Each structure stands twice: as C-alpha cells, then as structure tokens.
Amino acid sequence: MDLTVWRTFVTVYRLGSLSAAADELGYTQSAVSRQIAGLERRLGTELIHRQVRGVRPTPAGEVFHHHALIALDEADRAVRAVRDLRDGAFVRPLTVGATPSLAAGIVPTAVRRLLDDGLPNHNLPDHGLPNHDLPGYDLPDHGLPNHGLPGNGHPGNGHPGTGRPGTGRPGKGDSSGGVGPLPWTLTSGLSGDLHERVSTGRLDVAVVTDAPPGLPHDPRVGQRFLGTDEMVVVLPVGHPLAGSGPLPVARLADESWVEDNDGSAALLRRHAARAGVTARIDLVAADLPGKTALVATGHAIALIPGSLTPALRTDVTTVRLVDPPTRGIYAITPHRSPHPATASLLAHLATAFSSARSPEAREAVPDGTP
C-alpha cells in the first residue's frame, strides 16, 4: 500500500475533517476523499463516517489508525537511519521506556551517566550510498505522539530525549573512545503497554514494575531484577505527621487519599486491609504531577514509590510505613537485536535505583532481594 494514503487517513482522523486535511496536506478536498475511498475499497470496509460537519472514525478506522501510526513511525525511522548511514553519521538510537515514576527518577540519571561514559566506537562500513536525498520521501508531521519525557498527562507522549538537557541536541560522552552523540528517546507509560512495545521491538529497554496486575511471562523478553521499591506516604510539609517515624497505616485511617493508577491503588487497599482498616481513595488524579499537587495543597495524602522521593517537589514530604507495601523493579529487553548500549544502561539503572532508595529502605530490603 502507498504510505502517502496512510498519511492522508491519519491526518483526516486527527483533524476530523476532509477539508481541513486537504488544506494541511496541500490537496483538493476531492483528492483527499478519493484517497480515503480507495483505501476503504482496498480494505473492504468503511474507515470513516461522513457527516454534515466533518467525519468520525468507524471501529475499523480506529483499529487501522492505531496500526497506521506505528507503521508510519517505523517508516520515518527507517528513512532517517538510511540517510544518516549515507552521510556517515549513523548511530542507532537507544529507545527507552519507563513508568511515570521511574521516568521522573532513576531513568534520566542512568542515561546521563551512560552518555557521560561514552560508548565504544562502531566501525561502520562504507555502503556506497549516493550523496543525494532519497527520492520522493519527505518526513512530514503525521500527528504521531512524541516518545519522550512525561509531563503532558498522557502516558506514552512527551518529547525526544536528549543527552544534553535543554539544548535539543544529544550530548557527547566524555570518554575519548566514545562515538559522540547517542540519540535516545524516552517513552512514559504503564508497565503492560511498555512490555508490549519491548516484545515487538519498538523499545530497546523498559523499566517497569510488578505492581498489580504484574508482569507477564513472555519468551520474547528478558528481565533483569533491579531491586525492591518500598512504597512511602507523601504528605504536605505542614501535615501534623510530617517528620514522624514509620507509621502503622491505621494512624492514617481518617485521611483522604488520592491515586493516579490502578496498580498503586491496589497496593494501598491491600496494605490497609491487612491492617483491618479501609483507605478512603476520595480523589483520582490524571497523572503523578497531579497527584503530588493535590497532596501539596492539602486535599489528600498519597502512596508513592520510595525511589521517587529525591525527585519530589519541595512542598511535600514523605513518611515510611510499618511493614510497607513494596513493588519489584525490573528492566526488560527484547531477546532479538539488543542495542549495543543495553548492558551499560542496565548497570547504570541498577546503580541509580540503589542510590535513590533511602538508607532505611536499603537496610530493610537489601538490593537484589526480590
């Protein structure tokens, strides 16, 4: 199939209008309509419902859109890789994924150390590619989500990761034996979504947790256990219990709680139930920043991973729990075609995770203990 037509469909889907898509793509509306109609004939089903004002996708259109985004993203990556190879500048990008708490904590630290270390030189052969652009292929903006740092409230969206924060350019390793810039991306998402991306080769490394519903067994994916993360309670700095020692959760039975995902909520409910109390989850936040904002302003308290503590805002504080709930932290990688930097990154992730844990937590649950 012609990818130009796929891009047209993705644009129509995003804008919800044939005429708006035509204006953006530089086509006539009739040309866009013909492209979509031809694609529907090829697939044997309607992809959009044509309405008086705009269009909306059919169930088949929703399914096709999901896979079209992935295919177009990979096509663009392939063309960029060939162009870089032609120009003698190809370095395979390192694609990293992490849950929101880990993407805000240990992962940026580990990648920073990886970039500072540098990587061994890759001796790239001369493939004899001509020094001209690949004909007929531009890299348009087809509305794909950026794979990057969390912060816009949608798991999996963000910005391209760079080795030099704030510049938009990859950073150079300090080692004289390094290859220089290592392009990398960071995708934030839930563990199940990240596992699917690793298993299909779309991520080189993902840092995930075994919080409910847990991690699946998948022969396509390798797991490295990084350590056990103790959950802690985050409070506003003016809370009466701020600065207390380890607390039984029963001391917090009258508090309102806020949660941002089902896995964390399940850990909290199980822990409270073991103590014979009920945790009142009165508020639900869209994401981790929203969760901590509600705590900082005194609306609720929350359960968060202890490894996130160093990255918290300054108007909140944490207290440990007696016999706290825990979650295992794992780095998962595809068995096929590992990235040359994977082994080094895994070592830096283990170090960064150990450093992020409090001395008390490290004493309670030693590193490497499942």
Q: In this predicted model, what pLDDT tens digit does every residue of 81-132 receive, in sequence order?
A: 787 677 776 678 899 999 988 998 899 999 999 998 876 544 333 334 443 3
CB 231 within 8 A of CB 305: yes
Question: What pLDDT, on a 0 to 100 scale, did the predictor assign at position 76?
Answer: 83
Residues with pLDDT less than 70, the chain = 1, 84, 89-90, 119-180, 357-370
Separation CA 153–CA 196 (nearest Å): 20
pTM score, whole prediction? 0.61
CB 256 within 8 A of CB 280: yes
What kind and span of H or E run contains 280? strand 280-284
Question: What pLDDT, on a 0 to 100 scale, did the predictor assign at position 135?
Answer: 39
> Facing residues of 207 across strands?
98, 331
Q: Cis omega (within 30 of 0) on the bond before 130?
A: no
Question: What pLDDT, on a 0 to 100 scale, did the predictor assign at position 90?
Answer: 65
Question: What pLDDT, on a 0 to 100 scale, did the predictor assign at position 151?
Answer: 32
Q: Half-sphere exposure of 7 toward its Cβ, with a 13 Å CA cutoff?
A: 19
Separation CA 4–CA 116 (nearest Å): 40
Closest among 230, 200, 176 to 354, alpha carbons compared: 230
CB 76 within 8 A of CB 149: no
Question: What pLDDT, on a 0 to 100 scale, did the predictor assign at position 360?
Answer: 54
